[in-house]
A = this chain, B = another copy of it.
């Protein structure tokens, strides 16, 4: 399981300000902190970038690349910004992401074909809604693979994000259990190893105690990992969750056990 840092996010006021002002220092510091904390990839989440999207996003990508060689998840809904980012990106790039929403199919998906990158497909319907039911999510996954095939993208380049929702949402508990079921079934359904990613922080969005959120994340993450999740977006400041992620990796991937290995 690859740990993807979700810290470089426009929702963080300090990062938002640095992005808007094209101030490299806070961005570099954040990336270095994430890398030191064990990130295996960095999600670069700029938001929609209404002003100067191309300049802003390419600045962002170049700034991140100046301090890391980790793969970057280029995370914006703005196709212009995304293309500018892809043009300057020399690290491995993954587009994050597209859904069956017509605008996304038309503007985002073709960029993965042009720039030969992996792309994340969200299990959302054409109206950007999540399904509660695993069978509906599986049908959406099949549609995403079909969309890739139609666009000329090899299916192995699609990474499925089943979309973890807040537990407090109506049907949030059931939806997230169905996500576990979907993760277990995707490879069997599609007939090849389907890669998957999920954003763990979504589970407990809202103004709760951070310590409580961390405990819930630490309990759900091993379930996701054992269900076969390949990549997980985590806040790298949550060191207990990071430790759980390493333990998951060790318990599920390693042949021999040592305490040093699990950082205990």
Contact = CB atoms under 8 A, between A and B. Distances in A.
Given A256-B173, A257-B168, A251 B220 contact: yes
A259 interface: yes
A264 interface: yes
Given A174-B255, A252-B177, A262 B216 contact: yes
A151 interface: no
Interface in A79-130: none
A178 to B, nearest CB: 12
A37 interface: no
A220 B172 CA distance: 24
Contacts of A31: none
Contact of A223 (B211, B215, B222): B222
Nearest to A213: B264
Interface stretch (A8-16, A139-147, A241-249): A241-249
Interface string A195-216: 0000000000000110110011
